[in-house]
Structure 1
Amino acid sequence: MLLRERTRTDHDRVDAAFARFDLGDPADYREFLLAQASALLPLEAALTAAGIENIVCDWSHRQRASRILADLADLGLGAPGLLESPGFRSTAEMLGALYVVEGSRLGGAMLARRVPAHLPRRFLSDADSSRWRSLVALIDHELVAPACQAAALAAARAAFALFEAAARAQAGVRVLEH
């Protein structure tokens, strides 16, 4: 898949930025969730504003804002400061961003195993591989033209950059607090 191949380095940078958080440590887990939320919430809002529900009929089931906010509330935290999401104007851009958002869901299933059982894991435990497969099929169907592929790639890179910035910002906050 084109997006996977061309965003591999973006994905690796995000993984490295989030690797700083020890999910077995409650304080680090809180920081991890805050970082995730500061990128995910504005991305989901931007996708909704752009009309993603007209492209992905199960968008309401894919959204995870309520799950991460519930986990944060269980940990005694409110919503974090949000980063600014790029706007999405086309189907290709929305699919590129959704590729990143849905990919993070799959990664979350693996990360959930590292979180102690006494901590809330709704956000990380919401994995459904059938949603991923349907998204990949839609991307393969919709992103045929080179211009569409380029738009999707740019949006995916912007979404990855937002997650990377969120992780780095939260890690910086943690350093300043110590």
Structure 2
Amino acid sequence: MQAKAHEVPVPPVLQDLRAGTAKLHVSLEKKLPFFSDRFDTNAFQRLMQAYYGFYLPLENALLDAAVTPADFDLASRLKAPTLREDLLTMGLSAEDIEGLPICQSLPVISDRPTCLGVLYVLEGATLGGQILRREMASRLELNADNGAAFLDIYGAETGRRWRNFIDYLSSRPLDTVERKAVVMTARATFSCFERWLESREVLI
């Protein structure tokens, strides 16, 4: 008789996040144009400008809120600086980037649970970036050297850093109300991002 594989229990907060954001995640993925036949380098640049317009103010909000747990290294996980370098590599000037539209409708970050909800979405996006990285390299010959470093921001460390984040999130002492706040903020982050990309007319 075969022994059953050891099952690792899924922490309650992660169960809640997966259930609470699944539909929003799928909805956004369907609208992203990366796999569209009409998606070209110009469309990629426009999309990355829109990403920058969301990531920059959201990450600044995380920094300004000053509610990130002291034992979490937020600085090493910021994505906007890499997006900015990608835009410079693609030919935008510093002045061009300074003049890009910036999202004003962001999820509220007021405490540790809301901070964790935002981080769950931002960190989870790095996993999907690996699929997009391969697609953009194959179809548009874009890579980390010519404007697509954002899609491979953690490189070979992507999987490990995601697991580390999940381990960190799962180890936080969150009660039922706090877990709900994490999920609601993650949902708000997805919704704000989708609305922003729609307003920039870069979605399918």
TM-score interval for Structure 1 and Structure 2 normalised by the shorter chain: 0.7 to 0.9
Q: 1:12 to 1:149 in 2, by over 3 A?
A: same
TM-fit CA distance, 1:18? 1.5
Letter in 1 for 2:141: A
Aligned to 2:124: 103
Query: In the TM superposition, what are the counterparts of 1:9-28 in structure 2 within 5 Å?
Result: 9-19=23-33, 22=36, 25-28=40-43
TM-fit CA distance, 1:52? 5.1
Aligned to 2:178: 148
Aligned to 1:82: 102
Which string of whole-angstrom CA distances, capped at 9 and with x for unpartnered residues, describes residues 129-150 of structure 1? 2221121112222263110111
How many pairs are equivalent?
174
TM-score, normalised with respect to structure 1: 0.86
Q: 1:55 to 1:13 in 2, by over 3 A?
A: farther
Which shows bigger deviation, 11-20 or 143-152? 11-20
Q: What RMSD over aligned residues (CA atoms) do the two structures have, in Å? A: 2.3
Higher helix share: 1
Which string of whole-angstrom CA distances, capped at 9 and with x for unpartnered residues, describes residues 53-95 of structure 1? 5345321111111110111122223332111223311111000
Larger Rg: 2
Q: 1: distance between equivalents of 2:46 and 2:190?
A: 18
Selected match of 1:94 from 111, 115, 127: 115
Which shows bigger deviation, 131-140 or 19-28? 19-28
Q: 1:40 to 1:53 in 2, by over 3 A?
A: same
1:117 aligns to 2:151 (yes or no) = no
Q: 2: distance between equivalents of 1:101 and 1:28?
A: 22
Letter in 2 for 1:117: E
Alignment check: 8 A CA contact 2:17 2:183 kept? yes
Extract unaligned runs of 5+ from structure 1: none
Q: Which runs of 4+ in 1 moved over 6 A?
A: none
Q: 2: distance between equivalents of 1:17 and 1:143?
A: 35
Query: In the TM superposition, what are the counterparts of 1:23-102 in structure 2 within 5 Å?
Result: 25-51=40-66, 53-55=68-70, 57-77=72-92, 78-79=96-97, 80-84=100-104, 85-102=106-123
TM-score, normalised with respect to structure 2: 0.76
Alignment check: 8 A CA contact 1:109 1:126 kept? no
Which string of whole-angstrom CA distances, capped at 9 and with x for unpartnered residues, describes residues 13-60 of structure 1? 221231377495101111221221122111111111122553453211
Aligned to 2:18: 4
Q: 2: distance between equivalents of 1:142 and 1:54?
A: 10
Letter in 1 for 2:30: A
1:135 aligns to 2:165 (yes or no) = yes
Q: 1: distance between equivalents of 2:22 and 2:181?
A: 17
Q: 2: distance between equivalents of 1:168 and 1:143?
A: 36
